[in-house]
Structure 1
């Protein structure tokens, strides 16, 4: 039986995760060198398999030279073979593999593997949302928490939860470990396309920080900001974020 897009994304995210775990377990490499080797190995497999399974689709990967021809494609696979290279190289669990399909600019299919936790979350099998945390929890970068997020958390009485990769943070909201992921430090399409697809399928709010929708397969792949949160919190988070003024 031919795999559908959701099954393909999940299988490949799982397979890339196993490659990365095996490479790290071998113990031959460490730190940045391990991260680079992991990126290359996972990317090679993902792109090879996607081209074999969906030869008519385009691919945008963090680790591949961009091909502008993708801009004319209605279906573009957007891949981050190792999101959280630092965390992976440090032996942590808060890193991820992203495999997404954007259709006409919309994050339509996504799989986010969390190999360090033995989990893969997909848009094809949405996760049931847990009750909100008390107090609320907001995710921030463990190395460079955004000032806007810190201020919004203070205004909402939310606890800050530091975590590594974008995929790990987004999936923490999906899994109910946190309630809000507000990021204003800039990302690229491969950093959040798969997490956004999974979060949308789970019933979470996803948008830019001004409330506008996220669009993919752009000529400029930079995305300045992102909000993933419980729907009942979205209006307040967006309002507070709009009131933030540095200094």
Structure 2
């Protein structure tokens, strides 16, 4: 367990980062063994969301490894029934064993294992492992963001330069006309966590996120993005709070520090919707 987090002694979460990175790699290996093998599929959320045998297998690996190492932590996973016990825990694991299940089942490589440690409502260690792409993103509170061990930073577009924004067409259409001519829409990226990682390492400049994204879609990528110099906020510019009773979020915006205020100023149509 990390030490006290008093004002004079910041917590060092690097041991937790090492733990979740090891677990995410193992879960990624399990998921990759199912990739392209037509795993059994079920449907949840009234038939709206697929879940596969690979999701459940990766989830078991994560749960066994992480809770054995940190039995005092809470647990929130897309593929585990929610337990209100997590609300009484200051620290918990927030997990998506396969973020981008639809892409996974379609044979597309843009999926990842997402694992975060959340403490007092904020992510303090995060990892995204995308085994089919051979990419790994990590970050820890107070540290730097890395991709495959190398530091990453967000993009720094010219003040009036073009902006690569990854979002659905209807979301981009809601950007005010004054900014829209500068926007180049990037094709759909199925994994939200991976999309946020692309903002973190500067491959895209920002993204707009439709409402109802969950804690497990966001927590790890949120930390990685912030340590790379960007931010993920609601449309009022407020940081996200995790491990609440309600684990979904409203419309969100993610971008580098210089681009985020510009986007927030120019998406008033969304804030009124």
Bigger mean CA deviation after superposition, 171-180 or 3-12 = 3-12
In 2 relative to 1, CA 48–234 (structure 1 residues): closer, same or farther, beyond 3 Å? same
**Which structure: greater helix fraction?**
1
Gaps in structure 2 of 5+ consecutive residues: 3-13, 44-49, 146-150
Query: In the alignment, what sits opposite 1:4?
Result: 15
SS at match of 1:4: helix
Say which SS state the counterpart of residue 163 (structure 1) adopts.
coil
Q: Which residue of 2 aligns with 1:189?
A: 215
> How many Å apart are 1:105 and its aligned residue?
0.3
SS, match of residue 176 in structure 1: coil
The alignment status of 1:99 with 2:115, answered yes or no, reads yes
Count residues in correspondence: 241
Q: Residue deviations 1:166-203, cap 9 Å, x none?
A: 01211111122100011123211111111101111111
Alpha-carbon distance change, 207 to 130 in structure 1, aligned in 2, over 3 angstroms: closer
Give the 5 Å matches for 1:59-74.
59-74=75-90
What TM-score, normalized by structure 1, do the two folds share? 0.89
- The equivalent of 1:137 in structure 2 is 164
Q: 2 CA distance for matches of 1:29 and 1:92?
A: 14
The alignment's TM-score, normalised by the length of structure 2, stands at: 0.81
Q: 1:153 to 1:52 in 2, by over 3 A?
A: farther
Deviations 1:195-232 (A, max 9, x none): 10111111112211221110000011111222220110
Unaligned runs of 5+ in 1: none
Q: Which residue in the other structure is 2:67 paired with?
A: 51
- Rounded to whole Å, the distance in 1 between the matches of 2:272 and 2:90 is 39
Which residue is equivalent to 2:199? 173
Tell me what 2:184 maps to.
159
Q: Could you say which residue in structure 2 is the equivalent of 1:14? A: 25
> Are the structure 2 counterparts of residues 130 and 64 from structure 1 closer, same or farther at C-alpha, using a change threshold of 3 Å?
closer
Structure 1 residues 71 and 146: CA distance shift in structure 2, 3 A: farther
Task: Give how far 1:152 is off.
Answer: 2.2
- Partners of 1:35 and 1:67 in 2: how far apart? 19
SS at match of 2:52: helix
Alignment pair present for 1:199 and 2:225: yes
Once the two structures are TM-superposed, the CA of residue 121 in structure 1 deviates from its matched residue by 0.3
3-state SS, counterpart of residue 136 of structure 2? strand
Q: Which residue of 1 aligns with 2:171?
A: 148
CA RMSD between the two structures: 2.4
Write the distance in 1 (CA, Å) between the matches of 2:265 and 2:154.
24
Name the residue aligned to 2:234: 208
1:114 to 130, 134, 137: 130
Structure 2 equivalent of residue 218 of structure 1: 244
Q: Secondary structure at the match of 1:152?
A: coil
- The alpha carbon displacement at 1:146 in A equals 5.9
Question: CA shift at 1:153, angstroms?
Answer: 8.1
Q: Does 1:86 pair with 2:124?
A: no
| Secondary structure, aligned partner of 1:193 | helix
